[in-house]
Amino acid sequence: MATTTPTTKPAGAAALFGSLLLISSAPALAAKDWNISPSLGITTSYTSNLELTADNEIDSMVLDITPGISFNRQGARATVSFDYSAHIIGYSASEGDDRIDHRLNTALSTELVEEHLFLDARASYSQQLIDRRDASNGDNINASDSFSDTATIVITPSWRQRIGKYTEIGVEASYDAVLFQDANDDSEGTSYSFFVDTENSPSKLVWALSAGQSNSNPDQSDSIKEDSARLTLRYRFSPQFVPNITAGWVDNHLESTTDDRADSGSFWGAGLQWRPNPRNTVDLSYNSRLQTNNSYGLTYQHRRKHSTWSLVYQESISSIRQQLLDGVSIGSLICPPGSVDFDQCTFVDSQTTVVPQPGDQVFDVNVPVASLVNDRFIQQTTRANIVAGKGKSRITTGIFYSEREFQATAETEQEQGIDMGWSLRLSRRGTASANWNWSKLESDGVPNDYFSRISVSYDRRLTPKSSLTGSVRYSERHSGDATREFEDWTAVVSFRKTF
């Protein structure tokens, strides 16, 4: 199998920035020990439909060798984290494109001048689905042409100054970039904001005043710009009950919006953080105009002895580049120790307390993006989750609905689905699990797609730092367009070791 590497435009940028993070953090952390964890994964899998096509199915063996390294350190004035892995992928079928996929997440937070000048920076590199309607069964092993290498960079310096005992003023600027290998819509952005607040005051009434602007210029899509100013008053009746009211002005610079709430003008808002008892949590937010930050929101969580129930609703203006830059978390995957096969993991909503069992790994799950085009959209998202566990068994159930109204094209995309999972710890080192997922994707002007997947797996922890995993899954997509349908059987055996 011949191995080829992709063009390095986004890879080089992210790798360079990762090096800059380490160099800039070295003085603050040089005297401290680092937590360093090299790793190696070896995964062999079989797929019955390599390109996920409706006909002309091609089966293939796939070998994925994954060396990686992660390290982090929290010093007196700087915190740095770095997580990198290279996926060296080879196919037995001639149609497969042998390659190396790079994945990177790195971040730095440092205090350059004590109590005044701060620098936050982060970078990522990953493979993103170019279009939600492209063929995919949950990873980029199959139909690799449907994915684009994607790099993000964010650099944010800020200055803060204390006036009096509790009032603080400051200014923050930011540079960001989103770079694609194949989507041809790279973009750079800048933003700045000024603020003054009394958040550190011990009094019940605190306030915050801010104003700023953000903009970006994609290669092909429309420019994105937002100006805003706001005043927020927050009254702390008690640590468990904190309401707030907001007034301000916003301009999204949209010529013809699909919703009057996205037009420019003054706005008002209100919010509430309420913790009536240890078992219940309520967060509410409302704004009369839609903005990049969450404009409407409801989060409710109820904890019982053996279960957690949650309901989340959010509505705001966003864009693909903003979601990629934010890495917005929708929840976590709780996986058995050392596991590299996410089919055996259980999903926990972002608003649900993560309660892993001893030795479990926890991974963030970010918002799935639509298509790698920088059109802004009004997004509504609703998700309900139940996580229940007793003894060695754990069950998760979730339903979700999302809708995007794209502002440049006025098209609408809707997605709804169900996630169900069950895991059983068979022994101190062995865990079996089963998962089922179903979703429906509706887009204006094209037939609906229905995707489902079922998987069973077993994970065996060999040593405290190594594990062996085996899984089988079946994926299928039905569609009003018969040429878009596919079926795929996949069997996976993987080994992972950290050093």
- In order of start, what are the domains of the chain with their CATH numbers? 9-498 (2.40.170)
In the prediction, which pLDDT does 362 show? 53
Name every residue whose Cβ is closer than 8 Å to that of residue 224 and which is 6 or more positions away in sequence.
Answer: 189, 214, 215, 216, 218, 253, 319, 321, 374, 376
What pLDDT score does 345 carry? Answer: 54
CB-based contact 136:146 (threshold 8 Å): yes
Q: Is the pTM of this model over 0.85?
A: no
C-alpha closest to that of 497 among 37, 40, 85, 88: 40
Q: Tens digits of per-residue pLDDT, 454-494?
A: 999 999 999 989 999 999 999 999 999 999 999 999 999 99
β-pairing verdict for 376-390 and 361-366: unpaired
CB-based burial of residue 180 (10 Å sphere; 0-12 exposed, 13-18 middle, 19+ buried)? buried
- At 303, the amino acid letter reads R
Tens of pLDDT, residues 187-245: 999 999 999 999 999 999 999 999 999 999 888 888 889 999 999 999 999 999 999 99
Instruction: Report how far residue 31's alpha carbon sits from residue 37's, in angstroms, rounded to the nearest whole number.
Output: 19
Which residue ranges in the chain fall short of pLDDT 50? 1-8, 11, 14, 22-24, 27-28, 31, 328-330, 339-343, 349-356, 358, 366-368
Displacement of CA 298 from its chain's centroid (Å) = 20
How high is the pLDDT of residue 372? 64
Give the total residue count for the chain.
499
What was the pLDDT predicted at 438?
A: 95
